DNA sequence: GCAAAAGTGTTCCTGGTACACCCATGT
DNA sequence: ACATGGGTGTACCAGGAACACTTTTGC
């Protein structure tokens, strides 16, 4: 195997921006960094890409390592390559964002990174350029979710419309009209109505819905505006 | 300077998907690869990231090396990291796409890569995974240009509305209604009408327009649908 | 005077938005 | 009975889509 002469290599890492929603706030799963430098500081979950490993695989591996979850929605965000972003050694990082059901996570045993779900709106200081990654990920999520059915990935299999409304409101930090939201949502015909929900948070109870997975997967790139889209990006 | 122990580095390259428009077809600037392996085969313009070089800078450097152009619209597309994508040695590539004014390019002296503008619809076989990069870049451009004023980057400073219409039609491979297109376009108020154009391609001549750069740059992320957007992605 | 492209207006209809009241239940 | 959140209908308006004819000029 010949090599390219005179070129210099660098380390390649993955960092994961992991979104979750607890019914009230949009959250990120952060860890306390286990390596020097900045050991113990808040950080995104990350890791190095292995010599024979695909980027997708690496991202999935790292996500699973922290959350125990597989088959999670992930999307490559962007490569971050400032030569000085890691003071130790030049390290390129490919940021991925993931949308997970926060409740599924809670049942998992997490490893020893001391992970915590932190509200996106109250982020602590993060190491390196992780803050930039988070900001970009949030923008990207806002952008994409305004046009595509995506946020279902953050909710359990069964969910109610008020939950979904809360999620949108949390992501965009705006109040939305529930009547209009409802209508748009149902007109997409992606939801299947279930039985009643009793207990939590309401006297009357709200109906559960499930995704019509068939339509969902064939439409995941479909264009539908769940929002007053042109005003949301202001 | 301490190092991360036991991690393996890899080469990091940039590949540029360079779009141009000749008034009729959408084209890509390809080169004949100068390195083994696959020397002489069609390829995107690329190069390795230098040890102290930023990704943006590297992409701009490589673009300038081929086209002589600076201050060109560029956007990071995605990292391609299949471990076997380059048979010589593991090389991660960050693909960028660029929109250039094909006529500005033609006035430049090009280097010895034997570059050629090739219609996107008649691409030759490309080395490695470059075809995947091109396909993704085209999809991304279609997506973004349906919602944002972007394609001006492919045209000269002065252009006519029929030219712009041709460009949209070429990108989406669909015919568009010129009356509706016209109205939408002008309602964005990004264009400033100029004098007549005589010669080329028409007896009557079409008016030139220029971009209102002030509004353009403050609105480059603005949301405006120049197209029957929800039908264009089919 | 005719061919070829530029330019322009109207109607229809969808879909977005604003807005307010009743319903079901637990306490 | 009342408080709390769940659920629903309507009227208005903006903007997208469909559609055809007139204008200018070079030949």
Percent of chain B as helix, strand, coil, to the nearest 5: 30, 25, 45
pLDDT recorded at residue A234: 44
The token pair that represents B229 in the structure block = 């957007």
The better pLDDT of the pair A233, B73 is held by B73
pLDDT recorded at residue B200: 78
pLDDT recorded at residue B231: 47
The better pLDDT of the pair B196, B82 is held by B82
Give phi and psi for A121, each to the nearest 5. -85, -10
pLDDT over 80 at A121, yes or no: yes
pLDDT recorded at residue B88: 94
Query: What are A28-64's pLDDT values in tens digits?
Result: 999 998 777 888 899 999 999 999 999 999 999 999 9
Cβ–Cβ contact A50 with B under 8 A: yes
Q: Determine the average pLDDT of the residues in B158-165.
A: 95
pLDDT over 50 at A230, yes or no: no
Check if CATH label 1.10.530.10 holds for domain A148-232: no
B79, B12 contact by CB (below 8 A): no
CB atoms within 10 A of CB A89: 13
pLDDT over 50 at B120, yes or no: yes
Coil, helix or strand at residue B106:
helix
pLDDT over 90 at A152, yes or no: yes
Asked whether the beta carbons of residue A81 and residue B54 sit closer than 8 angstroms, the reply is yes
The model's confidence at residue B150, banded by pLDDT at 50, 70 and 90, is very high
The token pair that represents A47 in the structure block = 């890791």
Mean pLDDT score across all residues of chain A: 90
Chain B residues whose CB is inside 8 A of the A11 CB are 4, 7-9
A147, A224 contact by CB (below 8 A): yes
The model's confidence at residue B147, banded by pLDDT at 50, 70 and 90, is confident
pLDDT over 90 at A157, yes or no: yes
Name A80's bridge partners.
A93
Q: How many CA atoms lie within 13 A of A94 on its CB side?
A: 29
pLDDT over 70 at B226, yes or no: no
The better pLDDT of the pair A133, B222 is held by A133
Domain boundaries, chain B: 11-146, 149-232
pLDDT over 90 at A106, yes or no: no
The model's confidence at residue A102, banded by pLDDT at 50, 70 and 90, is very high
Q: Determine the average pLDDT of the residues in A218-224.
A: 71
pLDDT over 80 at A108, yes or no: no
The model's confidence at residue B11, banded by pLDDT at 50, 70 and 90, is very high
CA-based nearest distance B87→chain A, Å: 8
pLDDT recorded at residue B40: 83
Q: How many CA atoms lie within 13 A of B204 on its CB side?
A: 4
Q: Name the residue with the least CA to C1' distance from nucleotide D20.
A: B179
The model's confidence at residue B230, banded by pLDDT at 50, 70 and 90, is very low
Check if CATH label 1.10.10.10 holds for domain B149-232: yes
In angstroms, rounded to a whole number, what is the distance separating the alpha carbons of residues A61 and B35? 34
Query: What are B51-72's pLDDT values in tens digits?
Result: 999 999 999 999 999 999 999 9
Chain B residues whose CB is inside 8 A of the A219 CB are none
- Helix axes of A161-172 and A178-187: crossing angle, nearest 10 degrees: 110
Q: Determine the average pLDDT of the residues in B37-46.
A: 91
Least confident stretch, A131-145, B123-137, B192-206: B192-206
A8 closest CB neighbour out of B4, B51, B82: B51
Share of chain B above pLDDT 90, in %: 71
B10 closest CB neighbour out of A1, A2, A9: A9
The better pLDDT of the pair B33, A75 is held by A75
Mean pLDDT score across all residues of chain B: 90
Q: How far is CA A169 from CA A24, A135, A145, A151, A161, in A?
A: 9, 18, 12, 12, 12
The better pLDDT of the pair B234, A10 is held by A10
Looking at domain B11-146, which CATH architecture does it have?
Alpha-Beta Complex (3.90)
Our separate counts of H helices and E strands in chain B read: 7, 10
């Amino acid at each position: 195997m010949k090599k390219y002469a005179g070129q210099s290599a660098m380390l390649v890492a993955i960092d994961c921006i992991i979104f979750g929603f607890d019914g009230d706030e949009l959250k990120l799963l952060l860890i306390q960094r286990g390596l020097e430098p900045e050991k113990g500081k808040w950080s995104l979950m990350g890791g190095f890409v292995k010599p024979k490993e695909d980027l997708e695989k690496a991202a999935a591996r790292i996500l699973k390592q922290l959350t125990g979850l597989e088959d999670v929605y992930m999307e490559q965000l962007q490569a971050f390559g400032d030569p000085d972003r890691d003071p130790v050694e030049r390290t390129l990082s490919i940021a991925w964002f993931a949308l997970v059901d926060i409740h599924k996570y809670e049942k998992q045993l997490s490893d020893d990174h001391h992970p915590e779900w932190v509200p996106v709106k109250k982020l602590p200081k993060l190491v390196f350029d992780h803050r930039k990654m988070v900001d970009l990920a949030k923008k990207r999520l806002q952008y994409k979710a305004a046009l595509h059915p995506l946020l279902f990935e953050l909710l359990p299999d069964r969910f109610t419309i008020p939950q979904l409304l809360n999620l949108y409101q949390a992501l965009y930090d705006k109040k939305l009209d529930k009547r209009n939201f409802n209508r748009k949502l149902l007109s997409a015909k992606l939801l299947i109505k279930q039985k009643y929900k009793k207990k939590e948070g309401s006297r009357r109870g709200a109906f559960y819905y499930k995704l019509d997975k068939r339509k969902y997967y064939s439409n995941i790139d479909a264009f539908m505006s769940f929002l007053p889209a042109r005003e949301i990006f202001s």
